Amino acid sequence: MYMEQVFDFLGILQILAGAYLLYEAIKWLVYAQRRAATDPGFFSPRTAVICPCKGVEPGLERNLSALCEFDYQNYEIFFVLASESDPATSIVKRVASQSRRKAHVVFAGAPQNCSEKINNLRAVVQQLPEEFEIMVFADSDGRPGHSWLRRLTAPLRDPGIGATTTMRWLIPNKNNLPSLLLAAWNAPILTMLGENTAKNFCWGGGTGIRKTVFEQSGVLEEWQNSVSDDYSMTTALQRSGRPIVFLPECITVSYVETDFAGLMEFTNRQILITRVYARKIWGAAFATHFLFCATILLGLVLTLGDLLAGRPSMQVLALAFLPLLLAAIRGAIRVTVVQEMVPELKSQIQGQAWIHLIVGVWIPYLYVVNFLNSVVSRKIRWRGISYELISANQTRILGR
């Protein structure tokens, strides 16, 4: 009886929370549709697209070629690697040599007290010619559309904006379970960004910023001993009181394929980085996912117990089912938005909608595993390099 009372309380709490999140998801849908209908205009200042690379990943050459094909005249591309011995070097050089836009290949050297990605970014930023007004940061595993750069830079005509940003949408290359789980795990992050600029954060795979704002906010200094390029940039912009604008129309598709080891390496890394660099977000998300998982698990146990004892179980089952239904509806809204934002891939995204409707509702259990790992460990592995995240401003490289 006591456990059923606890479950009733938790179940009603989860339904109320799910209803609120559904309301927020509908607002997010409306915002995304309004943004997609916005004309980016003809704002085209001198722009540097900076893309750090490391190792050969699925579709790398096509991803990098996409950065050379934007419908934006006034830009140059800077591909940057740690060293010429990187396996991706030959592909990067080939793409750069065939690019219709001027493309540079930069070698940054080995990092000392920061991540290799940040060391690569710093190397380009520090030698960037003065004539560049805007810097755009992209990832080598993303494949943005032709209008991506024009739309990402358009709001920066307002000098009061700190940065524009977007988020990735993962499309599995394979239907193996780890790849499906990774796609479903990533999707909820999309709706963490929205119209409220005060709550937004930069995503390193798609962020645009004025060079003057970058310098005035002290991003380079914030990067100096950091492992996270995007959270550190967010910290610098928030400290200077500059808003971050989320652009759903710039959602970046990333094709993925992984195994269970790769799944856990990626998800554990993301959550530990969040714990170190955005503790409030980490704490709220931990509590939310833990209570959701505990409620569903308790409901299933009580339902099974009632069935075995011959007692009515429909009320308990309904309370356990409704939070899952609300989560599935939110997943459907995300899929709907991404289809509208990336119309050229509509059929493919629609064909994988079941991942976010069925697999996605159980993803909180994977998140809980990630959260627990982040409590007991400060170590991550990222593209073949191990790091220890001592603090937001102190990183130790453990080995390559």
Mean pLDDT score, 110-132: 95
pTM metric for this prediction: 0.93
Domains and CATH numbers, the chain: 2-28+279-399 (no CATH), 39-271 (3.90.550.10)
Per residue in 18-63, pLDDT tens?
A: 999 999 999 999 999 999 999 988 899 999 999 999 999 889 999 9
Q: Which two tokens stand for residue 351?
A: 């064909």
For the CA atoms of 219, 220, 224, 225, the dihedral, rounded to the nearest 10 degrees, stands at 20
pLDDT for 308 beyond 80:
no
Which of the four pLDDT bands, split at 50, 70 and 90, describes residue 309?
confident
Over residues 72-78, mean pLDDT? 95
Q: Report the alpha-carbon distance of residue 140 to residue 142 in Å, rounded.
A: 6
